[in-house]
Structure 1
């Protein structure tokens, strides 16, 4: 989602934007009271001084601009508003203040981004809480289908994940490519988020368009703590992806604990693309090879 730019147009507008960015209230008041600077002056991207002050977190400047008549819901060319920038940066005092003067949660950016999506993406719990209390749509989605829950799970923000789930977020709502919040949390290695999602009803075996599940991805990355959480919910162990099993993926990751966990949970070493057919040079971890050799059901390696 979008970031703030600080390009200016005229010398006086330049000074106003600088004051808003730096939190220089005295200079900002001087310029606004001169009558020579429009309170809604914009830079070349359509950003206003209010947006700049909201992004930078300068509450005094935000208050001054609003009291001088700044358009709270003015949109930049990208679609961002002052509320979006305050939420994105986690300035909850400004988010609350903007709501008091009529800020709307209805505006979105060109990629579908909303203030709630932005706050969730960066893990700003208080801002997310305030936005939800003021009518933000918990089912907002980016153009690719990512929800606030998806973005919070991707970032590993477990408190925000809990808040969103409690507020009605759908645990299994996928992105357009089939990626669920559980899958993305497993892919990045956020085991606590994985645990929370599973406890709230996330489908342990939900697969992306490419056929991979959260367990398969965690095995590929060697995230043993994520695998351990997933195994508590009895996921499918012997699924295949392009001929490779979950156990096969764990062996290739070189993570001994992941391999041990899967074997103890009942993963079949004799599945297609059998582990016993893997050449030894596929892994430098001799401990894994010794573990597999000692597995009764494995047979000869």
Structure 2
């Protein structure tokens, strides 16, 4: 199975991220036109207009090719058990390794991770200063992004402990934690968050990608229940709204017909009556999708059946004609001119 296959997610097609990883890591990979974020989503679009704004702008370029650095990683791997392996930055500087990047923007650390050579990657993490650990390649992927894509938990742990930034965003606006939430890399997510208090993680958990999704949204969309639990324990805002339509994780779980996520979020204290930008609550969505089980669960959790969206519709209005859905709600109201009136 190729590295690309291992990076594929089983979620909906439009949630996939181009990891930029191939089993042979062809040099042509990054020469393709980079994808721009959708105009529908917010974000620093000027970041995509010039390479001068990248965090590695002061990092020296080199004539060394991807193949030559890849061969070097391979050679180091073969010498793994021998005493000939380089031990100091001075030896490395003879090949100008510490100040070299490939035409694709990759440092040797990126390449070691791509080749899944954990030992070399860990050696380089110890050798490199923190600033080098945060260099992003032409796809704006940091070493932490790539280690997460490939589920290299030990590398993620070492990068995090050395101080690698959790806030860097790739070309899709995803942080490494977004990647872990989308692909279900629970161990990686745990390593990235375990040494931080909720107040420190708060800004990281609020970051939205170019589709307007925070980490909790991605975990909900991809039914990653263990990661959802982890994020909540780390202080994720249960009611944070995604940036395009104002859905919370509860709205998304209802749309996915994921009753396990709905129950998890309600048990953790999610607002059952949270409103989207158009005024729709989770109950509106459940009734509109004729999901009787989730509608009943929301009602039992105290959902207000009388809240109106911008179309002036209540959940009961949307249930009109569906006896199965109507049976979920008590008959304690009457309608006058088509509008529900609560009986006192």
Answer with 120-129 or 271-280: which moved more.
271-280
Cα distance change of structure 1 residues 300 and 140 upon mapping to structure 2, 3 Å threshold: same
| Corresponding pairs, count | 260
Structure with bigger helix share is 1
1:32 — aligned with what?
none
Cα distance change of structure 1 residues 140 and 294 upon mapping to structure 2, 3 Å threshold: closer
1:170 — aligned with what?
201
Q: Equivalent residue of 1:232, what SS?
A: helix
Gaps of 5+ in 2: 1-18, 29-61, 336-344
Q: Which TM-score applies when normalising by structure 2? A: 0.64
Whether the 8 Å CA contact 1:53–1:61 is kept in 2: the answer is: no
Q: Does 1:250 align with 2:266?
A: no
1:51 — aligned with what?
70
Gaps of 5+ in 1: 9-39
Alignment of 1:118-267 (within 5 A): 118-143=146-171, 145-168=173-196, 170-171=201-202, 172-175=205-208, 177=210, 178-210=212-244, 211-241=246-276, 242-267=278-303
The Cα of 1:146 is off from its aligned counterpart by: 2.6
Whether the 8 Å CA contact 2:182–2:222 is kept in 1: the answer is: yes
Whether the 8 Å CA contact 1:220–1:252 is kept in 2: the answer is: no
Give me the whole-angstrom Cα distance separating, in 2, the residues matched to 1:280 and 1:209.
31
Whether the 8 Å CA contact 1:105–1:136 is kept in 2: the answer is: yes
Superposed CA offset, 1:132-182 (max 9, x none): 234423333335543222221122222222221123362423125542211
Cα distance change of structure 1 residues 297 and 194 upon mapping to structure 2, 3 Å threshold: farther
Alignment of 1:105-116 (within 5 A): 105-116=133-144
Give me the whole-angstrom Cα distance separating, in 2, the residues matched to 1:138 and 1:7.
27
Give me the whole-angstrom Cα distance separating, in 2, the residues matched to 1:298 and 1:121.
53
1:276 — aligned with what?
316
Whether the 8 Å CA contact 2:213–2:242 is kept in 1: the answer is: yes
Q: Answer 1 or 2: higher relative contact order, Cα 8 Å, separation at least 6.
A: 2
Q: Which TM-score applies when normalising by structure 1? A: 0.72
Cα distance change of structure 1 residues 222 and 87 upon mapping to structure 2, 3 Å threshold: same
RMSD (Å) for aligned C-alpha atoms:
3.5
Q: Does 1:72 align with 2:72?
A: no
Cα distance change of structure 1 residues 7 and 207 upon mapping to structure 2, 3 Å threshold: closer
Q: Does 1:94 align with 2:129?
A: no
The Cα of 1:224 is off from its aligned counterpart by: 1.2
Give me the whole-angstrom Cα distance separating, in 2, the residues matched to 1:147 and 1:57.
32
Cα distance change of structure 1 residues 99 and 160 upon mapping to structure 2, 3 Å threshold: closer
Cα distance change of structure 1 residues 52 and 207 upon mapping to structure 2, 3 Å threshold: farther
Q: Equivalent residue of 1:244, what SS?
A: coil
Superposed CA offset, 1:66-123 (max 9, x none): 7895443431222112311333454312212334665841421134211012212343
Answer with 150-159 or 212-221: which moved more.
150-159
Q: Equivalent residue of 1:248, what SS?
A: helix
Cα distance change of structure 1 residues 298 and 142 upon mapping to structure 2, 3 Å threshold: farther
